[in-house]
Structure 1
Amino acid sequence: MDIQLGYSKRLKYLPFRFSIILRQLQRWNIRYDDPEKEQSQSLFGEQEEESGLQKETDNLFRHFSFNGEFLLGKNQNFRIRGGYNHIQRKELSVESLRSLAGFSMGIGFKISYFKLDYAATFHHVAGATNHVTISTNLQKI
């Protein structure tokens, strides 16, 4: 079971909508502490461990996803979207490589009665998922 809570708000004087989604609310600690993970070292070669505050802050943000959408054009026919998922970033990124794991982006157009949307979600350095959607309201045709 996954208890979730979401909030979305379109700003009054700016063509922007943001959303915050909280996940796994039924369980506080959702960190995965990998026993095989190499400890980071300080400049002098000493092992550095995360402080309690760092662990709690990381655990808190693993419950959140942040999204934003710009609504552009006269009738908001063009949209640009972006998002960030912290748990995906922490659990699917490779520490020795830079990647976009946890980030997503998209674009959308409204042409006549049809909406065309594209989105890409980056899960891992191995690849991303791509989604294309064509939609319409059949009652308006």
Structure 2
Amino acid sequence: MKVVIAIVCLIPLVGFSQIGGQFGYQSLNLSTNPRSAALGGSSVSLADEDISQFFENPATLDSVGTKNLFFHINPYFADVFVYSGAYSFDVGNMGTFAAGIHYVNFGEFNLIDQTGNGLGTFNAQDYTFWVGKSQVLGPFTLGANLKLAHSSIDSYGSTAMMMDLGGVFRVSKSWTVGMVFRNFGTTISNSTTLSRPSVPFDVMIGTSFKPEYMPIRFTVTSNSLVEDNFVEQEDTGGRNNSAVDKVWKRVNLGAEVLLSKNFQFLLGYNHKRKQELRLEDRGGGAGFSYGIMLKVKQVEFRFSRATYHVAGGSSFISLRTDLNDFKRIL
């Protein structure tokens, strides 16, 4: 309980988001794990011993034990690679914490001057460090992530301190509701004289439920609930931009087909992605995603595929395990 009180006291220090203007640190909006990617791109209500979900909502950590290990790789687009990893550990009387990292390598670029002469190459990368903790209060669980994000291009960079505050309410054993205030914070350093980038603050709410006699768990997540973080293009290119369509752009739909404890099939749909990335004459599957979960002994393997455009999509691969299961070997 003391940890939760300390976290709440920190909110005034990191809790003033610069809403509006040009958002920076957009790599924070990329999927951090294949499960969320397969369920439409985000999920904040899955609290079932999966440490990768603490990137989405720190309150899900109440279901995670110590020594859980997770690693994820996502070959994105144009030689961009996204990596993330997480580990849970015990801190004495303070209980279980989780630490994570999210790293985006944008690759190597040619450096040229104003006259077109080559001056060599430079790199661009983003990385964010996570530390998370949750606290159970009856049917409620509260959680917080403290995050340090850094973005660099060549010799220029900026750093921001942020926090996620989340909660999970267990309506029943098979029905949970989650909510998270993501990316409270501000830029703390900037190596250019330009205006400081704003952090991508967002509010998300979602629910996951499994009907009693169906081997399917449904997940519905509403994101971009902060109006300033949901930019509408004036030129819609013939796309539907009605009031109903704007509502659906804030909703991700997903389903997990629970074939067994060791094998699952996932499906998802992201309407915002479909409307923004489809061609005028065809969608090409934009907005749809799918994935599988396969567990072999102590190791859980996940693969997901999200379609962004008629030209293709992006794949997500992860491994997760509980090191406690290997104690006989270790």
TM over 0.5: yes
Q: Distance in 1 between matches of 2:209 and 2:265?
A: 16
SS at match of 1:3: strand
Other-structure match for 1:13: 213
Other-structure match for 1:45: none
Alpha carbons of structure 1 residues 134 and 38: separation in structure 2 relative to 1, 3 Å: closer
Q: In structure 2, give the amino acid aligned to 1:34.
A: D
Matched, 1:60 2:260: no
Higher relative contact order (CA 8 A, sep 6+): 2
SS at match of 1:105: strand
Q: Distance in 2 between matches of 1:30 and 1:70?
A: 34
TM, length-normalised to structure 2: 0.36
Equivalent residue runs for 1:1-141 within 5 Å: 1-27=201-227, 30-34=231-235, 37-38=237-238, 55-73=242-260, 76-141=261-326
Structure 2 portions without partners, runs of 5+: 1-200
Q: In structure 2, give the amino acid aligned to 1:106.
A: G
Which one is further off, 19-28 or 131-140? 19-28
Paired residues, number: 125
Please identify which structure carries the higher strand content: 2
Q: Per-residue deviation at 1:139? A: 1.2
Q: Per-residue deviation at 1:134? A: 1.6
Which one is further off, 130-139 or 19-28? 19-28
Alpha carbons of structure 1 residues 20 and 55: separation in structure 2 relative to 1, 3 Å: same
Structure 1 ranges of 4+ moved more than 6 A: none
Which one is further off, 62-71 or 11-20? 11-20
Q: Per-residue deviation at 1:30? A: 5.0
Q: Per-residue deviation at 1:124? A: 1.0
Question: In percent, how many aligned pairs have the same letter?
Answer: 28
TM, length-normalised to structure 1: 0.80
SS at match of 2:203: coil
Alpha carbons of structure 1 residues 20 and 56: separation in structure 2 relative to 1, 3 Å: same
Other-structure match for 1:44: none
- Aligned residues of 2:274 and 2:283 also touching (Cα < 8 A): no
- Report Cα offsets for 1:53-99 as digits up to 9, x if no partner: x71110110110000000113xx211000000010000011122341
Q: Distance in 2 between matches of 1:135 and 1:59?
A: 36
Q: In structure 2, give the amino acid aligned to 1:87.
A: K
Q: Distance in 1 between matches of 2:213 and 2:294?
A: 22
Which one is further off, 21-30 or 2-11? 21-30
- Aligned residues of 1:30 and 1:62 also touching (Cα < 8 A): no
Other-structure match for 2:23: none
Q: CA RMSD in A?
A: 2.1
Q: Per-residue deviation at 1:38? A: 5.0
Q: Distance in 2 between matches of 1:86 and 1:32?
A: 15
